[in-house]
Amino acid sequence: MKNDIQNRADIELLVRSFYDKVKTDDTIGYIFNDIARVNWEKHFPVMFDFWENVLFYTGVYNGNPLVIHQHLNRVVPLKLEHFNQWNKLFTQTVDELFEGNNAMLAKQRALSISTIMQIKILGKVEE
Ligand code: HEM
């Protein structure tokens, strides 16, 4: 039996494990490593805040992910397969580490935010 996502320490584990997969992923890794050249030590605390806010309404995140991804899309056109892979890796990471209501909520929220991004960026959501 796995634990549910319960606190910031759990979110830190989730986020770090997720980006471990992202960094070495054939489909989306290059976007983070070579194009955006993400500074991970800066990115992680932002993501901890983001997910704490999404799951527990306690984080201090007040950025605008949609605008950031719209900008990214002008540098590297984002495709359906990028979003699908992002969601696959996120779901996999949650399932490997946690189970319970918050784990389910995290997967659902990731998918709905991703869907909104796809509608705004790709202009449509495909099956
Ligand atoms: C095609 C899929 C995606 C790609 C390639 C992608 C890539 C990126 C990149 C390169 C950054 C900038 C990192 C930095 O330099 O600090 C970023 C930031 C971020 N991404 Fe994504 N992303 C994707 C999907 C998503 C989804 C579905 C979510 C939410 C569920 C998400 C949430 C965020 C957030 C919260 C930030 C931080 C924005 C800020 O700095 O305020 N991303 N993403």
What are 19-46's pLDDT values in tens digits? Answer: 999 999 999 999 999 999 999 999 999 9
Burial class (CB in 10 A: 0-12, 13-18, 19+), 57: exposed
Report, as an integer, the average pLDDT of 10-20: 98
Pocket of ligand 1 contains residue 107 by CB under 6 Å: no
Q: What do you get for the CA distance between the two ends of the chain, in Å?
A: 33
Pocket of ligand 1 contains residue 32 by CB under 6 Å: yes
Q: Whose CA is nearest to atom 34 of ligand 1?
A: 65
Report, as an integer, the average pLDDT of 94-100: 98
Q: Distances from the Cα of 110 to the Cαs of 34, 35, 43, 75, in angstroms?
A: 24, 23, 17, 23
- C-alpha to C-alpha distance for 104 and 95, rounded to whole angstroms: 9
Pocket of ligand 1 contains residue 21 by CB under 6 Å: no
- C-alpha to C-alpha distance for 77 and 27, rounded to whole angstroms: 13
Looking at the CA of residue 35, tell me the nearest atom of ligand 1: 10
CA angle in degrees (0–180, nearest 5) for 88-9-91 = 10
Looking at the CA of residue 87, tell me the nearest atom of ligand 1: 27
